[in-house]
Amino acid sequence: MSEELPEGAHSLRSVQAMLGLSRRTIEGLIELGFVKPARGARNAWRFSFRDIVLLRTAHELQAAHISSRKILRALARLKATLPEEMPLAGLRISAVGDTIAVREANAPSRWAAESGQMLIDFEVGASPGSVFAFRSTQADPPPGAAAEAEPGPRDARALFLLGEALESTDAEAAEQAYRDALAADPHLRDAYLNLGAMWCEAGRAGEAASLYEQAVSHCPDEPLLHYNRAVALEDAGDDQAAIASYEASLRLDPRLADAHHNVAALYDRLGKPQAALRHFSALRRLQR
């Protein structure tokens, strides 16, 4: 049986899955004191949301192709040179080329974390009030090159896992994570399924149906997307469209018992007993 975590806490394994960081990098950041997770049962680490924010900064630096060793070395030097009274919340950390750059909140100048050398003529996009800046920036690219790398499937999967982790504690943040995941990879089936289910549970069936319409246009061969679209359409009161979507899901996977049950009930309610009987019979065969 899996261990039940306190509300808002995350295990080492779930943090690794969410952020794509190696265990060694996470352990190094803990040893440096940049994250201070609590201890749970059997002395296992339990990470708070603030811990995840800090760890995600390291993840963004890795995504800028900075090695784990360089991240740890730069943060170690940074920690050694900062005064004790400076909170980590007063810093903005980003990547500029292969350099880790640091700026104190509201300070006009920035410096390289490893060497202490001042850096000029670059901008860091930081959100006011954030613990560390989430978005890494790079020096101006050569002509013809993209200013920022386009997010890809790996980024989308990390965002999806973040959304899953946030669902029980922050629905709004989870929704945004799923939206960002789909922006990065419009073919990510699981993000459609989870986000649409959240909306249906929140009474937003019409929005969920529209989302699933988008989903099946990108992933037409995924039976669960057609099935969930049918559920959303039924909740929204569009029975005919729901029937068509249930039937589409069953053409792709005739063993979807719930689809047989739901569409049979719809046919029965609409006064189409023969169609209802066909699906009830298929359901009985599946249950033998």
Mean local confidence (pLDDT), 135-152:
39
Is 124 among the domain residues? Answer: no
CA atoms 208, 210, 214, 219: torsion sign: positive
Is 197 among the domain residues? Answer: yes
Q: What are the residues whose beta carbons fall under 8 Å from the beta carbon of 238, sequence distance 6 or more?
A: 209
Verify that 279 and 202 share a domain, yes or no.
yes
pLDDT at 141: 37
- Residue that terminates a domain, selected from 86, 119, 152: 119
CATH number at residue 235: 1.25.40.10
Verify that 110 and 197 share a domain, yes or no.
no
User: Which phi and psi angles does 94 have, rounded to 5°?
Assistant: -150, 175
Say which range, 67-76, 189-198, 266-275, has the weakest mean pLDDT. Answer: 67-76
Verify that 109 and 16 share a domain, yes or no.
yes
pLDDT at 280: 92
Verify that 109 and 192 share a domain, yes or no.
no
Verify that 113 and 190 share a domain, yes or no.
no
Residue whose tokens read 């009161």: 237
Is 180 among the domain residues? Answer: no
pTM for the predicted model, two decimal places: 0.52
Distance CA 103, CA 63 (A): 20
Reference 237, options 266, 279, 215; nearest CA is: 266
Mean local confidence (pLDDT), 60-88:
62
Is 171 among the domain residues? Answer: no
Mean local confidence (pLDDT), 55-80:
67
H-state helical runs in 20-91:
23-32, 49-63, 68-81
Q: Give the structural domain span for 44.
A: 12-119
**Strands, E assignment, the chain:** 38-39, 45-46, 91-96, 99-104, 110-112, 118-119
Q: Are 119 and 111 in contact, with CB atoms under 8 Å apart?
A: yes
Q: What are the residues whose beta carbons fall under 8 Å from the beta carbon of 48, sequence distance 6 or more?
A: 8, 9, 10, 37, 38
β-bridge mates for residue 91, sequence order: 104
- pLDDT over 60 at 241, yes or no: yes
Is 177 among the domain residues? Answer: no
Helix (H, G, I), strand (E, B) or coil at 190: helix
Mean local confidence (pLDDT), 81-96:
54
Is 108 among the domain residues? Answer: yes
Is 194 among the domain residues? Answer: yes
CATH number at residue 30: 1.10.1660
Contacts of 82-87 with C-beta under 8 Å, sequence gap 24+, read: none
Q: For residue 164, how far is the Cα from the chain centroid? A: 7
Mean local confidence (pLDDT), 197-221:
94
pLDDT at 240: 95
Distance CA 30, CA 136 (A): 22
β-bridge mates for residue 80, sequence order: none
Distance CA 267, CA 265 (A): 6
Beta-strand relationship, 45-46 and 91-96 = unpaired
Confidence of residue 262 (pLDDT cuts 50, 70, 90): very high
- pLDDT over 70 at 149, yes or no: no
Is 250 among the domain residues? Answer: yes
Angle at 55 between CA 50 and CA 59, to 5 degrees: 145
- DSSP annotation of 90 reads G
The conformational region for residue 7 under phi > 0 = left, psi -120 to 50 = alpha, else beta, is beta
Most confident of 31-45, 102-116, 137-151, 243-257: 243-257
Tell me how many domains the chain contains. 2
- Residue that terminates a domain, selected from 64, 96, 119: 119
- Residue that terminates a domain, selected from 119, 138, 155: 119
CA atoms 195, 196, 200, 206: torsion sign: positive
